[in-house]
Homo-oligomer: A and B are copies of this chain.
């Protein structure tokens, strides 16, 4: 049983109540606590030594990353983060300066985005550091963007560039909070997610939630310089396009909008965010799964993100 099968089993019949607008299965949970104009966003995310960072990672960047991942999930709902709690599980002989620097990195990013850190706890975890962030945010009622909602004919957009993030970007990425709010305020965004498991891993969440498929134009996918550089790194390196599809931790926004809004959105984006690339990479189609179209033809992307190149 893999992670997704386990989650499916565990989330099959979770307790609910009348506050729940949207529970497990989106980037954040959405709660209605009775405020006329506001819904609450609620999210947790954990990073673990050995999986998400190493003993060699600068501690400020560990703390920054722990919070940034959660902020990216708030962005994916077009929300605004409010307050975080920090759980840090520590081996017995922890270095207090190292821990303080983890907080320094986290606090700096929190201040940048106006997020309060309102407590948390330290606990024990022999062998490795684990940091779990719980984050509360808000979104204007009706302005939240779910993973579901993609419609046949929608244009598919992605911010920034994809692939190779584990070289460096996974420690330095900017959560797209302002960009997502701007999108929600100015356009009817049908579906949105942040890319944590790669385009090939995360686009299927939008497709399954909407009961639709996607056709991706290979030449339109923005491949990062890091992915291209890594491709030159020897026999174990992925081809750049495969890296753009399957590398994790890009933390860019992937969203869909009605085809007729696509050009207007691109034009407005360039004026609003001239420094951040926005790419229309394909369209939503009937059916299921992802078709990759290139000069020669189209190829079905298989379930594990592996693509048969023409």
- Asked whether B10 lies within 8 Å of A100 as measured between CB atoms, the reply is yes
- Asked whether A125 lies within 8 Å of B130 as measured between CB atoms, the reply is yes
Q: Digit string of A1-40 for contact with B (CB within 8 Å is 1, else 0)? A: 1010011011101111101101111100101011100101
| Residue A174, interface by CB 8 Å | no
Nearest B residue (CB) for A14: B117
Interface size on A, residues (CB 8 A): 67
- Asked whether B126 lies within 8 Å of A127 as measured between CB atoms, the reply is yes
Give bound CA distance, A259 to B222, whole Å: 70
Q: Digit string of A113-135 for contact with B (CB within 8 Å is 1, else 0)? A: 01111111111111110101010
Chain copies in the assembled complex: 2
- Asked whether A15 lies within 8 Å of B115 as measured between CB atoms, the reply is yes
A1-B110 CB under 8 A given contacts A118-B42, A122-B6, A128-B125 = no
Interface of chain A residues 37 through 96 with chain B (CB within 8 A): 38, 40, 42-48, 50-51, 82-83, 85, 87, 89, 96
| Residues of chain B with a CB closer than 8 A to A89's CB | 46, 48, 130
Give bound CA distance, A37 to B239, whole Å: 57
- Asked whether B42 lies within 8 Å of A134 as measured between CB atoms, the reply is yes
- Asked whether B115 lies within 8 Å of A44 as measured between CB atoms, the reply is no
What distance in Å separates the Cβ of A15 from its nearest Cβ neighbour in chain B? 4
Choose from B15, B50, B82, B128 the contact partner of A110 (Cβ within 8 Å): B15
| Residues of chain B with a CB closer than 8 A to A10's CB | 99-100, 103, 122
Interface of chain A residues 218 through 261 with chain B (CB within 8 A): none
- Asked whether B15 lies within 8 Å of A116 as measured between CB atoms, the reply is yes
| Residue A111, interface by CB 8 Å | yes
Question: Which residues in A have some Cβ–Cβ distance to B below 8 Å?
Answer: 1, 3, 6-7, 9-11, 13-17, 19-20, 22-26, 29, 31, 33-35, 38, 40, 42-48, 50-51, 82-83, 85, 87, 89, 96, 99-100, 103, 107, 110-111, 114-128, 130, 132, 134, 136, 138
